[in-house]
Amino acid sequence: MLPSRALAVLSVASEAYPLIKTGGLADVVGALPAAVGREGVHMRTLLPGYPAVIAEMKDARAVHEYADLMGGPARLLVGHAGGLEVVAIEAPHLYRRTGNPYLDAQGRDWADNALRFGALSKVAADIGHGAAPGFHPDVIHAHDWQGGLAPAYLHYGDGPRPATVLTVHNLAYQGKFPATLLGDLGLPERAFSMEGVEYYGDIGFLKAGLALADRITTVSPTYAAEIRTEADGMGLDGLMRLRSAVVSGILNGLDTEVWDPANDPHIAAAYDVKRLKAREANKAALQERFGLNAAPRALVYGIVSRLTWQKGMDLVLAGLPALLAQGAQLAVLGSGDAELEQALRVAAEQHPGRVGVILGYDEALAHGIQAGADAVLVPSRFEPCGLTQLCALRYGAIPVVARTGGLADTVVDANEMALASRMGTGIVFSPHTREAYMHALDRTATLHAQPTAWRALQRRAMETDVSWQRPAAKYAALYHEVHEHRALLTGRAG
Protein backbone atom coordinates (compact mmCIF):
# COMPACT_ATOMS: atom_id res chain seq x y z
CA MET A 1 0.00 0.00 0.00
CA LEU A 2 1.27 3.50 -0.80
CA PRO A 3 2.00 5.61 2.27
CA SER A 4 -0.97 7.95 2.73
CA ARG A 5 -0.37 11.67 3.20
CA ALA A 6 -0.53 13.01 6.75
CA LEU A 7 -4.01 13.76 7.96
CA ALA A 8 -4.59 17.54 7.64
CA VAL A 9 -6.35 19.23 10.53
CA LEU A 10 -7.34 22.86 10.95
CA SER A 11 -7.46 23.91 14.60
CA VAL A 12 -9.77 26.90 15.10
CA ALA A 13 -9.36 29.03 18.21
CA SER A 14 -9.46 32.54 19.61
CA GLU A 15 -6.12 32.27 21.41
CA ALA A 16 -2.85 30.34 21.16
CA TYR A 17 0.26 30.44 23.33
CA PRO A 18 2.72 32.16 22.85
CA LEU A 19 0.90 34.63 20.56
CA ILE A 20 -2.13 35.55 22.62
CA LYS A 21 -3.26 34.05 25.92
CA THR A 22 -5.87 34.61 28.59
CA GLY A 23 -6.04 31.08 30.00
CA GLY A 24 -5.48 27.34 29.69
CA LEU A 25 -7.16 27.28 26.23
CA ALA A 26 -4.16 29.08 24.75
CA ASP A 27 -1.74 26.56 26.26
CA VAL A 28 -3.62 23.66 24.72
CA VAL A 29 -4.06 25.28 21.28
CA GLY A 30 -0.38 26.25 21.26
CA ALA A 31 0.87 22.80 22.26
CA LEU A 32 -1.44 20.65 20.15
CA PRO A 33 0.18 21.06 16.69
CA ALA A 34 3.61 19.81 17.76
CA ALA A 35 2.08 17.08 19.92
CA VAL A 36 -0.14 15.64 17.19
CA GLY A 37 2.61 16.30 14.65
CA ARG A 38 4.58 13.52 16.35
CA GLU A 39 1.55 11.28 15.68
CA GLY A 40 1.62 12.01 11.95
CA VAL A 41 -1.04 14.73 11.90
CA HIS A 42 -0.40 17.99 10.03
CA MET A 43 -2.13 20.74 11.96
CA ARG A 44 -2.53 24.39 11.07
CA THR A 45 -4.10 26.89 13.41
CA LEU A 46 -6.71 29.44 12.33
CA LEU A 47 -6.60 32.57 14.46
CA PRO A 48 -8.16 36.04 14.35
CA GLY A 49 -5.62 38.51 13.00
CA TYR A 50 -5.04 40.41 16.23
CA PRO A 51 -2.05 42.80 16.06
CA ALA A 52 -0.06 40.36 18.25
CA VAL A 53 -0.59 37.60 15.68
CA ILE A 54 -0.03 39.60 12.47
CA ALA A 55 3.16 41.20 13.86
CA GLU A 56 4.73 37.77 14.41
CA MET A 57 3.92 36.44 10.91
CA LYS A 58 7.11 37.51 9.17
CA ASP A 59 6.51 35.25 6.16
CA ALA A 60 2.79 35.95 5.73
CA ARG A 61 1.30 35.62 2.28
CA ALA A 62 -2.29 36.23 1.28
CA VAL A 63 -4.17 33.24 -0.12
CA HIS A 64 -7.73 34.50 -0.22
CA GLU A 65 -9.62 37.78 -0.17
CA TYR A 66 -13.07 38.71 1.05
CA ALA A 67 -14.77 41.83 -0.27
CA ASP A 68 -17.01 41.67 2.80
CA LEU A 69 -16.46 39.50 5.87
CA MET A 70 -19.02 40.50 8.50
CA GLY A 71 -18.96 44.16 7.55
CA GLY A 72 -15.58 44.86 5.98
CA PRO A 73 -12.86 43.59 3.66
CA ALA A 74 -10.56 40.81 4.82
CA ARG A 75 -7.70 38.58 3.70
CA LEU A 76 -6.51 35.15 4.73
CA LEU A 77 -2.79 35.09 5.51
CA VAL A 78 -0.76 31.92 5.86
CA GLY A 79 2.65 31.81 7.48
CA HIS A 80 4.51 30.98 10.68
CA ALA A 81 4.26 32.62 14.09
CA GLY A 82 5.18 31.53 17.58
CA GLY A 83 6.30 28.12 16.31
CA LEU A 84 2.89 27.45 14.74
CA GLU A 85 1.71 27.17 11.15
CA VAL A 86 -0.86 29.91 11.25
CA VAL A 87 -3.75 30.93 9.05
CA ALA A 88 -4.71 34.42 10.21
CA ILE A 89 -7.79 36.40 9.31
CA GLU A 90 -6.61 39.90 8.54
CA ALA A 91 -9.80 41.88 9.10
CA PRO A 92 -8.98 45.25 10.67
CA HIS A 93 -12.64 46.12 11.35
CA LEU A 94 -12.92 43.02 13.55
CA TYR A 95 -9.51 42.36 15.07
CA ARG A 96 -7.21 45.37 14.91
CA ARG A 97 -7.54 46.00 18.63
CA THR A 98 -4.80 45.50 21.20
CA GLY A 99 -5.11 43.99 24.67
CA ASN A 100 -7.54 41.32 25.81
CA PRO A 101 -9.08 39.51 22.83
CA TYR A 102 -12.61 39.61 24.23
CA LEU A 103 -12.84 42.80 26.28
CA ASP A 104 -12.48 46.51 25.71
CA ALA A 105 -10.33 48.77 27.91
CA GLN A 106 -13.20 49.05 30.42
CA GLY A 107 -13.38 45.29 30.79
CA ARG A 108 -16.66 44.93 28.89
CA ASP A 109 -17.24 42.39 26.12
CA TRP A 110 -16.67 43.99 22.71
CA ALA A 111 -20.14 44.82 21.37
CA ASP A 112 -19.42 43.01 18.10
CA ASN A 113 -18.06 39.76 19.57
CA ALA A 114 -20.78 37.77 17.78
CA LEU A 115 -19.48 39.00 14.43
CA ARG A 116 -15.80 38.75 15.43
CA PHE A 117 -16.04 35.08 16.36
CA GLY A 118 -18.81 34.34 13.88
CA ALA A 119 -16.24 35.40 11.27
CA LEU A 120 -13.65 33.05 12.77
CA SER A 121 -16.07 30.14 12.43
CA LYS A 122 -17.26 31.22 8.97
CA VAL A 123 -13.69 31.36 7.65
CA ALA A 124 -12.98 27.92 9.12
CA ALA A 125 -15.96 26.58 7.18
CA ASP A 126 -14.86 28.37 3.99
CA ILE A 127 -11.42 26.77 4.29
CA GLY A 128 -13.22 23.47 4.80
CA HIS A 129 -14.95 24.15 1.49
CA GLY A 130 -11.64 24.88 -0.27
CA ALA A 131 -11.10 28.64 0.15
CA ALA A 132 -7.35 28.29 0.86
CA PRO A 133 -5.70 26.87 -2.27
CA GLY A 134 -3.40 23.95 -1.57
CA PHE A 135 -4.84 23.30 1.86
CA HIS A 136 -7.78 20.97 2.20
CA PRO A 137 -8.28 19.97 5.80
CA ASP A 138 -9.67 16.51 6.48
CA VAL A 139 -10.84 17.59 9.91
CA ILE A 140 -11.82 20.94 11.37
CA HIS A 141 -11.14 21.02 15.12
CA ALA A 142 -12.91 23.96 16.76
CA HIS A 143 -12.35 25.08 20.34
CA ASP A 144 -14.94 26.54 22.71
CA TRP A 145 -17.76 28.93 21.83
CA GLN A 146 -15.57 31.11 19.64
CA GLY A 147 -15.24 28.22 17.17
CA GLY A 148 -18.70 26.84 17.92
CA LEU A 149 -20.39 28.05 14.75
CA ALA A 150 -17.86 26.33 12.44
CA PRO A 151 -19.78 23.03 12.44
CA ALA A 152 -22.99 25.03 11.80
CA TYR A 153 -21.62 26.89 8.76
CA LEU A 154 -20.38 23.57 7.40
CA HIS A 155 -23.63 21.79 8.16
CA TYR A 156 -25.80 24.40 6.42
CA GLY A 157 -23.33 24.94 3.56
CA ASP A 158 -23.27 23.16 0.21
CA GLY A 159 -21.00 20.48 -1.13
CA PRO A 160 -18.83 17.90 0.59
CA ARG A 161 -17.35 18.97 3.89
CA PRO A 162 -14.56 17.84 6.19
CA ALA A 163 -15.28 16.12 9.49
CA THR A 164 -15.75 18.31 12.56
CA VAL A 165 -14.60 18.05 16.17
CA LEU A 166 -15.53 20.51 18.90
CA THR A 167 -13.59 20.67 22.15
CA VAL A 168 -15.17 22.17 25.25
CA HIS A 169 -12.54 23.71 27.51
CA ASN A 170 -15.09 25.36 29.77
CA LEU A 171 -18.86 25.02 29.46
CA ALA A 172 -19.35 28.16 31.54
CA TYR A 173 -18.56 30.37 28.54
CA GLN A 174 -21.28 29.79 25.96
CA GLY A 175 -21.37 32.70 23.48
CA LYS A 176 -25.07 33.61 23.57
CA PHE A 177 -26.25 36.41 21.26
CA PRO A 178 -29.57 37.91 20.07
CA ALA A 179 -31.49 36.02 17.40
CA THR A 180 -31.67 39.21 15.32
CA LEU A 181 -28.02 38.63 14.35
CA LEU A 182 -28.85 35.54 12.29
CA GLY A 183 -28.76 37.44 8.98
CA ASP A 184 -25.61 39.40 9.84
CA LEU A 185 -23.91 36.11 10.64
CA GLY A 186 -24.90 34.79 7.23
CA LEU A 187 -26.81 31.85 8.62
CA PRO A 188 -30.00 30.66 6.86
CA GLU A 189 -33.40 30.93 8.57
CA ARG A 190 -33.61 27.16 8.88
CA ALA A 191 -30.51 27.18 11.09
CA PHE A 192 -32.58 28.83 13.81
CA SER A 193 -34.07 25.62 15.19
CA MET A 194 -33.72 23.41 18.21
CA GLU A 195 -31.49 21.07 16.20
CA GLY A 196 -29.36 24.02 15.05
CA VAL A 197 -28.14 27.29 16.50
CA GLU A 198 -31.22 28.30 18.54
CA TYR A 199 -30.58 28.40 22.29
CA TYR A 200 -33.40 29.45 24.61
CA GLY A 201 -34.59 31.99 22.02
CA ASP A 202 -31.11 33.34 21.28
CA ILE A 203 -28.24 32.14 19.11
CA GLY A 204 -25.90 29.88 21.06
CA PHE A 205 -22.43 29.53 19.54
CA LEU A 206 -21.31 26.73 21.84
CA LYS A 207 -24.74 25.12 21.68
CA ALA A 208 -24.58 25.11 17.87
CA GLY A 209 -21.22 23.37 17.92
CA LEU A 210 -22.42 20.83 20.47
CA ALA A 211 -25.50 20.11 18.36
CA LEU A 212 -23.79 19.84 14.99
CA ALA A 213 -20.14 18.72 15.41
CA ASP A 214 -19.44 15.13 14.36
CA ARG A 215 -17.53 14.53 17.59
CA ILE A 216 -17.27 16.42 20.85
CA THR A 217 -14.45 16.26 23.33
CA THR A 218 -14.02 17.76 26.76
CA VAL A 219 -10.66 18.13 28.46
CA SER A 220 -11.18 15.32 30.96
CA PRO A 221 -13.32 12.18 31.09
CA THR A 222 -14.88 13.12 34.43
CA TYR A 223 -15.88 16.57 33.14
CA ALA A 224 -17.47 14.84 30.13
CA ALA A 225 -19.64 12.86 32.54
CA GLU A 226 -20.34 15.76 34.93
CA ILE A 227 -21.75 18.07 32.26
CA ARG A 228 -24.46 15.54 31.47
CA THR A 229 -25.97 16.30 34.86
CA GLU A 230 -28.35 19.14 35.63
CA ALA A 231 -26.10 20.28 38.48
CA ASP A 232 -23.05 20.80 36.25
CA GLY A 233 -24.49 21.08 32.75
CA MET A 234 -25.05 24.86 32.86
CA GLY A 235 -28.21 24.59 30.79
CA LEU A 236 -26.62 22.29 28.22
CA ASP A 237 -26.95 18.98 30.11
CA GLY A 238 -29.94 17.84 28.04
CA LEU A 239 -28.00 18.31 24.82
CA MET A 240 -24.93 16.64 26.31
CA ARG A 241 -27.05 13.63 27.24
CA LEU A 242 -28.57 13.53 23.77
CA ARG A 243 -25.15 13.55 22.16
CA SER A 244 -23.36 11.37 24.71
CA ALA A 245 -22.51 8.72 22.10
CA VAL A 246 -20.15 11.15 20.34
CA VAL A 247 -18.65 12.76 23.46
CA SER A 248 -15.34 11.71 24.96
CA GLY A 249 -12.84 13.19 27.40
CA ILE A 250 -9.17 13.68 26.55
CA LEU A 251 -6.96 15.13 29.28
CA ASN A 252 -4.70 18.07 28.57
CA GLY A 253 -0.97 17.58 28.68
CA LEU A 254 1.71 19.86 30.00
CA ASP A 255 4.62 21.29 28.04
CA THR A 256 7.26 19.31 29.90
CA GLU A 257 10.06 21.42 28.46
CA VAL A 258 8.62 24.66 29.80
CA TRP A 259 7.78 22.89 33.06
CA ASP A 260 10.96 21.00 33.95
CA PRO A 261 12.42 21.39 37.45
CA ALA A 262 15.75 20.02 36.22
CA ASN A 263 16.03 22.83 33.70
CA ASP A 264 14.01 25.86 34.72
CA PRO A 265 15.46 29.38 34.49
CA HIS A 266 12.77 30.70 36.83
CA ILE A 267 13.72 28.74 39.95
CA ALA A 268 16.52 29.12 42.50
CA ALA A 269 17.85 25.56 42.35
CA ALA A 270 17.41 22.82 39.75
CA TYR A 271 16.30 19.41 41.00
CA ASP A 272 14.79 16.15 39.91
CA VAL A 273 13.27 13.09 41.46
CA LYS A 274 16.71 11.87 42.62
CA ARG A 275 17.79 15.26 43.98
CA LEU A 276 14.79 16.32 46.05
CA LYS A 277 16.95 17.93 48.71
CA ALA A 278 17.71 20.77 46.30
CA ARG A 279 14.05 21.76 46.67
CA GLU A 280 14.93 23.29 50.05
CA ALA A 281 16.64 26.24 48.37
CA ASN A 282 13.49 26.87 46.33
CA LYS A 283 11.39 26.76 49.49
CA ALA A 284 13.63 29.32 51.15
CA ALA A 285 13.46 31.56 48.06
CA LEU A 286 9.66 31.27 48.04
CA GLN A 287 9.40 32.15 51.74
CA GLU A 288 11.59 35.18 51.20
CA ARG A 289 9.70 36.39 48.13
CA PHE A 290 6.32 36.13 49.87
CA GLY A 291 7.52 37.62 53.17
CA LEU A 292 7.03 34.33 55.01
CA ASN A 293 9.09 33.37 58.05
CA ALA A 294 12.26 31.48 57.15
CA ALA A 295 11.09 28.18 58.61
CA PRO A 296 12.55 25.22 56.69
CA ARG A 297 10.29 22.68 58.41
CA ALA A 298 7.00 24.54 58.16
CA LEU A 299 4.49 23.07 55.72
CA VAL A 300 4.18 25.66 52.93
CA TYR A 301 1.00 25.62 50.84
CA GLY A 302 1.04 27.42 47.50
CA ILE A 303 -1.77 28.67 45.26
CA VAL A 304 -1.47 29.82 41.62
CA SER A 305 -4.90 30.65 40.36
CA ARG A 306 -7.46 32.95 38.86
CA LEU A 307 -9.27 34.27 41.92
CA THR A 308 -12.87 33.37 41.12
CA TRP A 309 -15.81 31.50 42.55
CA GLN A 310 -14.97 28.54 40.29
CA LYS A 311 -11.57 28.13 41.90
CA GLY A 312 -12.95 27.78 45.46
CA MET A 313 -10.86 30.54 47.02
CA ASP A 314 -13.66 31.19 49.53
CA LEU A 315 -12.93 27.73 50.93
CA VAL A 316 -9.27 28.66 51.36
CA LEU A 317 -10.30 31.77 53.30
CA ALA A 318 -12.80 29.83 55.42
CA GLY A 319 -10.17 27.19 56.19
CA LEU A 320 -7.39 29.64 56.93
CA PRO A 321 -7.65 29.35 60.75
CA ALA A 322 -7.27 25.57 60.48
CA LEU A 323 -4.29 25.93 58.13
CA LEU A 324 -2.58 28.34 60.50
CA ALA A 325 -3.37 26.16 63.50
CA GLN A 326 -1.29 23.45 61.79
CA GLY A 327 1.67 25.80 61.91
CA ALA A 328 1.58 25.92 58.10
CA GLN A 329 2.25 28.87 55.81
CA LEU A 330 0.37 30.02 52.70
CA ALA A 331 1.73 31.71 49.55
CA VAL A 332 -0.88 32.93 47.05
CA LEU A 333 -0.28 34.21 43.51
CA GLY A 334 -3.40 35.20 41.63
CA SER A 335 -5.67 37.81 40.22
CA GLY A 336 -9.39 38.07 39.66
CA ASP A 337 -12.45 39.13 41.65
CA ALA A 338 -11.91 42.35 43.58
CA GLU A 339 -13.59 40.95 46.71
CA LEU A 340 -11.39 37.86 46.84
CA GLU A 341 -8.29 39.93 46.16
CA GLN A 342 -9.21 42.22 49.04
CA ALA A 343 -9.96 39.36 51.44
CA LEU A 344 -6.59 37.76 50.67
CA ARG A 345 -4.81 41.08 51.10
CA VAL A 346 -6.41 41.44 54.53
CA ALA A 347 -5.44 37.87 55.46
CA ALA A 348 -1.81 38.63 54.59
CA GLU A 349 -1.91 41.80 56.71
CA GLN A 350 -3.42 39.95 59.66
CA HIS A 351 -0.91 37.12 59.54
CA PRO A 352 2.47 38.56 58.65
CA GLY A 353 5.11 35.92 58.11
CA ARG A 354 2.43 33.25 57.78
CA VAL A 355 0.35 34.31 54.78
CA GLY A 356 1.92 35.95 51.73
CA VAL A 357 -0.15 37.24 48.82
CA ILE A 358 1.04 38.59 45.47
CA LEU A 359 -1.74 39.86 43.24
CA GLY A 360 -1.13 39.77 39.51
CA TYR A 361 -0.14 37.41 36.72
CA ASP A 362 3.49 36.29 36.88
CA GLU A 363 4.60 33.23 34.90
CA ALA A 364 8.08 33.10 36.48
CA LEU A 365 6.72 33.30 40.00
CA ALA A 366 4.25 30.51 39.21
CA HIS A 367 7.29 28.31 38.56
CA GLY A 368 8.84 29.48 41.83
CA ILE A 369 5.74 28.42 43.78
CA GLN A 370 5.60 24.99 42.17
CA ALA A 371 9.29 24.45 42.94
CA GLY A 372 9.21 25.73 46.50
CA ALA A 373 5.82 24.88 47.99
CA ASP A 374 5.36 21.57 49.77
CA ALA A 375 1.76 21.33 48.62
CA VAL A 376 -0.42 23.21 46.16
CA LEU A 377 -4.10 23.86 46.86
CA VAL A 378 -6.64 23.48 44.01
CA PRO A 379 -10.07 23.45 45.71
CA SER A 380 -12.08 24.18 42.53
CA ARG A 381 -15.87 23.86 42.46
CA PHE A 382 -15.57 22.57 38.90
CA GLU A 383 -12.48 22.09 36.79
CA PRO A 384 -12.69 20.95 33.16
CA CYS A 385 -9.07 19.75 33.30
CA GLY A 386 -6.82 22.09 35.26
CA LEU A 387 -3.14 22.66 34.55
CA THR A 388 -1.96 23.84 37.97
CA GLN A 389 -2.19 20.37 39.49
CA LEU A 390 -0.26 18.93 36.52
CA CYS A 391 2.52 21.45 37.15
CA ALA A 392 2.41 20.56 40.84
CA LEU A 393 2.78 16.84 40.14
CA ARG A 394 5.74 17.49 37.85
CA TYR A 395 7.43 19.69 40.47
CA GLY A 396 6.79 17.43 43.47
CA ALA A 397 4.49 19.96 45.15
CA ILE A 398 1.77 17.67 46.46
CA PRO A 399 -1.59 18.66 44.93
CA VAL A 400 -4.48 18.98 47.39
CA VAL A 401 -7.52 19.02 45.13
CA ALA A 402 -11.30 18.83 45.06
CA ARG A 403 -12.67 15.64 43.51
CA THR A 404 -14.06 17.21 40.36
CA GLY A 405 -13.43 17.12 36.60
CA GLY A 406 -9.81 16.83 35.55
CA LEU A 407 -8.61 17.11 39.15
CA ALA A 408 -10.31 13.79 39.91
CA ASP A 409 -8.75 12.26 36.78
CA THR A 410 -5.16 13.34 37.35
CA VAL A 411 -4.50 13.15 41.09
CA VAL A 412 -4.57 9.77 42.83
CA ASP A 413 -5.67 10.11 46.45
CA ALA A 414 -3.04 8.91 48.91
CA ASN A 415 -5.52 7.26 51.25
CA GLU A 416 -4.52 4.53 53.68
CA MET A 417 -5.02 1.64 51.28
CA ALA A 418 -3.27 3.47 48.46
CA LEU A 419 -0.29 4.22 50.68
CA ALA A 420 -0.13 0.60 51.81
CA SER A 421 0.17 -0.35 48.13
CA ARG A 422 2.74 2.41 47.50
CA MET A 423 0.26 4.42 45.51
CA GLY A 424 -1.19 7.91 45.64
CA THR A 425 0.11 11.20 44.28
CA GLY A 426 -1.86 13.78 46.23
CA ILE A 427 -4.82 14.50 48.48
CA VAL A 428 -8.32 14.48 46.99
CA PHE A 429 -11.36 15.71 48.91
CA SER A 430 -15.10 15.78 48.47
CA PRO A 431 -17.74 17.05 48.92
CA HIS A 432 -16.86 20.69 48.33
CA THR A 433 -17.37 21.74 51.97
CA ARG A 434 -15.25 23.42 54.57
CA GLU A 435 -15.23 20.24 56.66
CA ALA A 436 -13.98 18.04 53.83
CA TYR A 437 -11.39 20.66 52.87
CA MET A 438 -10.14 20.94 56.46
CA HIS A 439 -9.93 17.17 56.70
CA ALA A 440 -7.74 17.25 53.59
CA LEU A 441 -5.46 19.79 55.28
CA ASP A 442 -5.20 17.49 58.30
CA ARG A 443 -4.28 14.51 56.12
CA THR A 444 -1.69 16.61 54.29
CA ALA A 445 -0.10 17.75 57.56
CA THR A 446 -0.04 14.20 58.92
CA LEU A 447 1.75 12.93 55.84
CA HIS A 448 4.13 15.88 55.75
CA ALA A 449 5.17 15.06 59.30
CA GLN A 450 6.44 11.67 58.06
CA PRO A 451 9.46 12.56 55.89
CA THR A 452 9.91 9.12 54.34
CA ALA A 453 6.27 8.78 53.35
CA TRP A 454 6.24 12.37 52.08
CA ARG A 455 9.30 11.85 49.89
CA ALA A 456 7.76 8.70 48.44
CA LEU A 457 4.62 10.68 47.68
CA GLN A 458 6.68 13.38 45.98
CA ARG A 459 8.51 10.82 43.89
CA ARG A 460 5.30 9.21 42.70
CA ALA A 461 3.88 12.64 41.87
CA MET A 462 6.96 13.56 39.86
CA GLU A 463 6.95 10.25 38.01
CA THR A 464 3.36 10.74 36.82
CA ASP A 465 3.26 11.14 33.05
CA VAL A 466 1.73 14.59 32.57
CA SER A 467 3.17 15.07 29.07
CA TRP A 468 1.26 15.48 25.81
CA GLN A 469 2.22 12.03 24.60
CA ARG A 470 -0.89 10.10 25.62
CA PRO A 471 -3.40 12.89 24.90
CA ALA A 472 -1.83 13.51 21.46
CA ALA A 473 -2.18 9.86 20.50
CA LYS A 474 -5.84 10.03 21.53
CA TYR A 475 -6.51 13.15 19.45
CA ALA A 476 -4.77 11.60 16.46
CA ALA A 477 -6.88 8.45 16.76
CA LEU A 478 -10.02 10.57 17.04
CA TYR A 479 -9.13 12.61 13.92
CA HIS A 480 -8.59 9.41 11.93
CA GLU A 481 -11.80 7.89 13.16
CA VAL A 482 -13.98 10.91 12.46
CA HIS A 483 -12.36 11.47 9.06
CA GLU A 484 -12.89 7.88 7.99
CA HIS A 485 -16.48 7.99 9.16
CA ARG A 486 -17.08 11.17 7.18
CA ALA A 487 -15.41 9.76 4.07
CA LEU A 488 -17.67 6.74 4.31
CA LEU A 489 -20.78 8.92 4.50
CA THR A 490 -19.63 11.06 1.58
CA GLY A 491 -18.82 7.95 -0.42
CA ARG A 492 -22.29 6.60 0.19
CA ALA A 493 -23.89 9.92 -0.60
CA GLY A 494 -21.98 10.05 -3.88
Sites of contact with ligand ADP (CB under 6 A): 23-24, 304-306, 333-335, 361-363, 366, 385-388, 391
Distance CA(380)–CA(404), nearest Å, equals 8
Q: How far is the CB of 220 from ligand ADP (least distance, A)?
A: 10
Neighbouring C-beta atoms of residue 105, cutoff 10 Å:
9
Closer residue to ligand ADP (CB): 93 or 306: 306
Instruction: Report whether 228 contacts 240 (CB < 8 A).
Output: yes
Closer residue to ligand ADP (CB): 11 or 389: 389
Closer residue to ligand ADP (CB): 191 or 387: 387
Q: How far is the CB of 175 from ligand ADP (least distance, A)?
A: 17
Instruction: Report whether 423 contacts 457 (CB < 8 A).
Output: no
User: Residue of minimal CB distance from ligand ADP?
Assistant: 24
Q: How far is the CB of 208 from ligand ADP (least distance, A)?
A: 23
Q: How far is the CB of 69 from ligand ADP (least distance, A)?
A: 29
Q: How far is the CB of 484 from ligand ADP (least distance, A)?
A: 31
Distance CA(216)–CA(249), nearest Å, equals 9
Parallel, antiparallel, or unpaired for β 329-336 and 355-359? Answer: parallel
Distance CA(300)–CA(448), nearest Å, equals 10
Closer residue to ligand ADP (CB): 46 or 387: 387
| AA letter at 297 | R
Distance CA(141)–CA(72), nearest Å, equals 26
Q: How far is the CB of 20 from ligand ADP (least distance, A)?
A: 14
Closer residue to ligand ADP (CB): 26 or 52: 26
Closer residue to ligand ADP (CB): 160 or 336: 336
Cα 222 to chain centroid distance, Å, stands at: 15
Instruction: Report whether 102 contacts 109 (CB < 8 A).
Output: yes
Q: How far is the CB of 431 from ligand ADP (least distance, A)?
A: 21
Closer residue to ligand ADP (CB): 153 or 395: 395
Distance CA(239)–CA(17), nearest Å, equals 31
Within 13 Å, how many C-alpha atoms sit on residue 492's CB side?
6
Instruction: Report whether 235 contacts 200 (CB < 8 A).
Output: yes
